[in-house]
Amino acid sequence: MQSTNDIKNTDQKTLDHKTLTKSFYLWFWGALTCFSQEHMQTFGYMASMLPILKKLYPDHDDQVEAIHAYTAFFNTNPMLGTVIVGITASMEEARADGQDIDGETINDMRAGLMGPLAGIGDSLIDGTLIPILLGIALGMSSGGSPIGAIFYIVAWVLIAYFGQRFLYFRGYTLGSRAVNILVGAQGAAIRRAIGIVGAMVVGGVLASWVNVTTSLKLRGADGKVFLNLQSKLDSIYPGLLTVLITFFCWWLMSKKHVSAIWTMVILVVISFVGVLVGFFNPGLSY
């Protein structure tokens, strides 16, 4: 497979499996190790491209020149973004073979894909897959059992490792066609469908694990309770207060553009006032 390259165009340069695997591992373990706000994943990217460049360009000066294509800013979802590294590996191979590809072509592809894949990855992985896995794991771990935590570790690491490995080699073999399923019309349908699963599971997580209740009870002159607000609310819709507080937080953050930290501060104020007037009482004692 590795022959001499004295006649450049007729002599195919092919990356072997070992080099690609090494590049994949460098990305898997090091996409964000040297993270900074200014360059984000740039160094992780360069580190994972290094074995590929060294394989394709025997001459040191060519390697130095080739790495300059990867000095541009790079940041994406590190899981889905693996496919981009795979695609660049195949493009770099084509460039070394003398095809009409230069550093700018490679960079345009990277810059064009990193934004969309970051958005898809954040909603698909952070917004859907992780909450589902964690939601199931939390149920298994209620009562202090370590089973749920172990389930999450095994399930997620297997999905992440084999998923990223698949994406990397998919990117290498298919080139930019690899992302068609993610960005095309079918991809949009799949994303919407998965989004429904995510939304329902998150609703379930909220109902199963969060329970905001009021302790407000109005008493008549004879000392009997004539209004128990919590049981009234439960007869209307179980968990009503929990949903209302969540919608309130959502409204603050997405409509009023309040940051998450200030939203928490507002909850502190609400709690403080609520405790003072007797609306909230966690019923504490030693």
The one-letter amino acid code at 115 reads: G
Report the residue number, 116 or 127, with the smaller CB distance to other proteins: 127
Q: Contact between 71 and other proteins (CB under 8 A)?
A: yes
Q: Contact between 223 and other proteins (CB under 8 A)?
A: no
* Contact present, 72 and 41 (Cβ < 8 Å): no
Rounded distance, CA 66 to CA 89, Å? 12
**From 20, 40, 83, 89, residue interacting with other proteins (rule: CB under 8 A):** 40
Number of residues located near other proteins, criterion CB under 8 A: 122
Q: If you ran DSSP here, which 8-state letter would residue 74 be given?
A: B
Report the residue number, 158 or 225, with the smaller CB distance to other proteins: 158
Determine whether 270 is exposed, middle or buried from the number of CB atoms within 10 Å of its CB (0-12, 13-18, 19+): middle
Q: Contact between 94 and other proteins (CB under 8 A)?
A: no
Helix (H/G/I), strand (E/B), else coil: 100: coil
Q: Contact between 2 and other proteins (CB under 8 A)?
A: no
Minimum CB separation from other proteins for residue 229, in Å?
Answer: 15
Find, among 128, 110, 123, 129, the residue nearest to 40 by Cα: 110
Instruction: Give residues 248-277 in contact with other proteins (rule: CB under 8 A).
Output: 248-250, 252-254, 259-261, 263-264, 267-268, 270-272, 274-276
Q: Is the dihedral of CA 262, 206, 204, 247 positive or negative?
A: negative
Q: If you ran DSSP here, which 8-state letter would residue 68 be given?
A: G
Helix (H/G/I), strand (E/B), else coil: 277: helix
**From 50, 174, 183, 233, residue interacting with other proteins (rule: CB under 8 A):** 50
Minimum CB separation from other proteins for residue 136, in Å?
Answer: 5
Instruction: Give residues 114-153 in contact with other proteins (rule: CB under 8 A).
Output: 118, 122-123, 126-128, 130-132, 134-139, 141-146, 148-150, 152-153
Q: Contact between 162 and other proteins (CB under 8 A)?
A: no
Report the residue number, 229 or 270, with the smaller CB distance to other proteins: 270
Helix (H/G/I), strand (E/B), else coil: 48: helix
